[in-house]
Amino acid sequence: MNVLFVGAHPDDIEAFAGGTAALYARDGHSVSFCIATNGNVGSRTVPPEEIAEIRRAEAGRAAAVIGARLIWLGFDDEFLFDTRETRLAFIEAFRQADPDVVFCHWRQDYNPDHSISGQIVDECVHMAGIPNIATATPAIQTGRIPHVYFMDTPAGVGFEPEIYVDITETFATKVRMVAAHKSQDGWMKEMFGYELEAFLEIPARFRGLQAGCSLAEAFRPSYRWGRTFTHHPLPNGCREAAVRRV
């Protein structure tokens, strides 16, 4: 399968779905990371253009840990809007990745780049197959509509999972991928008052407790017309929550 992860910022995919991405890669699937913004406000000391370049290089190294392909959209950090330009850029990314499965941010996530990128993915992913919407890459011919999953939020705030992936085997890989974003060392502590390791491990243990395994990542499927699938193409024997959330 082709599996596409869409993150708002250069380290989001790794933080919220890195263990799952590593499992797909381990199982031989083709994994792409699409990053919507360039992270150009992600430093107190380095100017925007310079930190954006640093973060693009870091994103490449993080993706390389599992052999994922990087698709870099380069919009300004914290100023992603749902416009014609952004939609066309996302549609072009969908065409490049030609995904069977897409992961994106939860539409009510805390940060506007997160919620808006999640919204664009959820609402526009099918447009990759419409030939009269022109981008650099021709429309996808297969006519299939990919599965779409929303990723967990930071610390799980406001997110009721419906499905879990056991990432016990790939948690260390996830940490290595996040650690590739060296320019962000200390940023979590400075911004939010806690260490990065706790930021990754506590939610993984909490979701693991919910799912009945050691460490887990949590997701919700997007249910839209054409996407009411009866199976989940998730790795590692995914577990569904006992109660479907509404």
Residue with Cβ nearer Zn ion (42 or 99)? 42
Separation between Cα atoms, residue 34 and residue 125, nearest integer Å: 13
Of residues 6-65, those binding Zn ion (CB under 5 A): 8-9, 12
Residue with Cβ nearer Zn ion (128 or 188)? 188
- Does the CA dihedral 4-5-11-16 come out positive or negative? negative
Other Cβ atoms less than 10 A from the Cβ of 103: the count is 28
**In the complex, minimum distance from the CB of residue 244 to Zn ion, in angstroms, rounded to a whole number:** 28
Give the CB-nearest residue to Zn ion.
9
**In the complex, minimum distance from the CB of residue 118 to Zn ion, in angstroms, rounded to a whole number:** 11
The tokens describing 192, both together, are 């939010």
Of residues 164-223, those binding Zn ion (CB under 5 A): none
Residue with Cβ nearer Zn ion (8 or 148)? 8
Secondary structure string (H, E, C) spanning 160-181: CCCEEEECCCCHHHHHHHHHCC
- Number of residues located near Zn ion, criterion CB under 5 A: 3
**In the complex, minimum distance from the CB of residue 81 to Zn ion, in angstroms, rounded to a whole number:** 16
Residue with Cβ nearer Zn ion (27 or 197)? 197
- Does the CA dihedral 152-158-161-167 come out positive or negative? positive
The tokens describing 47, both together, are 């100017």
Is residue 29 a contact partner of residue 3, using CB atoms and an 8 Å limit? yes
Distances (CA, A) of 190 to 16, 193, 194: 20, 6, 8
Those residues whose C-beta lies under 8 Å from the C-beta of residue 243, and which sit 6 or more positions away, are: none
Residue with Cβ nearer Zn ion (8 or 200)? 8
Stretch that binds Zn ion, among 3-11, 69-77, 134-142, 167-175 (CB under 5 A): 3-11
**In the complex, minimum distance from the CB of residue 111 to Zn ion, in angstroms, rounded to a whole number:** 5
**In the complex, minimum distance from the CB of residue 114 to Zn ion, in angstroms, rounded to a whole number:** 6
Q: Would you count residue 91 as binding Zn ion (CB under 5 A)?
A: no
Is residue 188 a contact partner of residue 199, using CB atoms and an 8 Å limit? yes
**In the complex, minimum distance from the CB of residue 124 to Zn ion, in angstroms, rounded to a whole number:** 20
Residue with Cβ nearer Zn ion (12 or 166)? 12
Tell me which residues touch Zn ion (CB under 5 A): 8-9, 12
